[in-house]
Amino acid sequence: MAKHKVVLLFPAAVVEQPFLYHLVKDYNLFVNIIRANINPRKEGRLVMEVAGEKEDYNAGVNFLESRGVKVLPFEQQVKWNEEKCTQCGACTVICPTDALYMIRPEMIVKFDESKCIVCEHCFKACPARAIEAHY
């Protein structure tokens, strides 16, 4: 069973459709919602982990895309720019999952995207604006 962390972008016309129900019921997928921002009459965004057999996952993604939902790999959505980073550590203090952490005693900031839940706290905390989301 493979796991995939993805970002779903919903156009306003389909925000109220029960897509997750169909992924579970019709495609035998397990879903774990990490973060959601879905508003009627506006585009929705859902960050989630999807687990299941490769064939079921691919069929589920095809189903979503056929209904107008964009399915983006999570890894391409949150970027930490190590060159822009000043190593101040402000992001590490506010990160609830330790996706951004400090290596000690060297005092070097590192980013583990597998732990990121896109809470966006680090975006605001970073004075160098070294962390960005690309949705």
Domains: count for the chain: 2
Asked if the model's pLDDT at residue 42 lies above 90, the reply is no
Encoded tokens for 74: 């999570």
Percent of the chain residues past pLDDT 90, beyond the cut? 66
In terms of domains, do 51 and 102 share one? no
In terms of domains, do 85 and 20 share one? no
- The reported pLDDT for the residue numbered 76 is 62
In terms of domains, do 85 and 98 share one? yes
Looking at residue 22, which CATH number applies to its domain? 3.30.70.260
Which domain, by its residues, includes 12?
A: 2-76
Distance CA 98, CA 123 (A): 15
100 DSSP β-pair partners? 111
Distance CA 35, CA 25 (A): 21
Spacing of C-alpha 66 from chain mean position: 21
In terms of domains, do 39 and 12 share one? yes
Query: If you average pLDDT over residues 93-115, what whole number do you get?
Result: 94
105: preceding bond cis by omega (within 30 degrees): yes
In terms of domains, do 64 and 84 share one? no
**CA distance readout (Å), 121 to 1, 96, 110:** 32, 9, 16
Asked if the model's pLDDT at residue 117 lies above 90, the reply is no
Last residue of a domain, one of 28, 48, 76: 76
